[in-house]
Amino acid sequence: IIMKKLYLILLLISVLGFSQEKNKIEKMGLYSTTTINLGLDLVQMIADKGKSDYELQNSPPGKFNYGITSILGYHLFNRLSLGTGLRYSFVDSNYHLVYLLAQSKIYLDDPEEEDPLFLNINYGKQINRTAINNATVIGLEIGKMEVLNNRFGHQFSINLDAQIFEQGTLFVGFSYGITIFSNKYYR
């Protein structure tokens, strides 16, 4: 009996959550985005010029950064989406950081535009233990999303991430992501 009620509740949620009206095209509804990102710590690379080998060995980690982010969110208004997810970031051989991430996505173009420009504001707190604990990431990302078919799109962006641990780093990089959304009449 409990299982039948659970199935009925899940059926109602899926019917109500994924039912579509053809004339509503402004919002994606529920969406999931997975991105891969690469970045360089340009500030540290500039500061490292002219240092001795000893100074370079004792400098903070993070000349190069790569990672993956997975976000689950909801497109609330025409120009605003909110989401949360996980981010893995490799900074150095002992710095494998996993963040719990909150993201707000602001659409900069008119909601009727074909491929919208967006601005992501990210904030994350480290949830794993590694050579460093209690790290934070704050990021700003600007990019363009291209809708490819009914429930699928991809995005390209340039990002600026401040990862704050021992001394902190500032990464400038780019990312590529794939988005799947529930509203098949979006765009």
CB 86 within 8 A of CB 99: yes
Task: Centre a 10 Å sphere on the Cβ of residue 155 and count the other Cβ atoms it contains.
Answer: 22
What is the reported pLDDT for 43?
63
CB 155 within 8 A of CB 146: yes
What is the reported pLDDT for 133?
82
- Residue 185 three-state SS: coil
Task: Please give the full DSSP string across 3-70, using - where no structure is assigned.
Answer: HHHHHHHHHHHHHHHH---TT--S---EEEEEEEEEEE-HHHHHHTTT--HHHHHTSPS-SEEEEEEE
Positions in the chain short of pLDDT 50 = 21-22, 24, 56
What is the reported pLDDT for 50?
54
Query: What's the CA gap between 152 and 138, in Å, rounded?
Result: 27
CB 104 within 8 A of CB 80: yes
Alpha carbons within 13 A on the beta-carbon side of 34: 3
Q: Which pTM was predicted?
A: 0.73
CB 116 within 8 A of CB 109: yes
What is the reported pLDDT for 24?
46
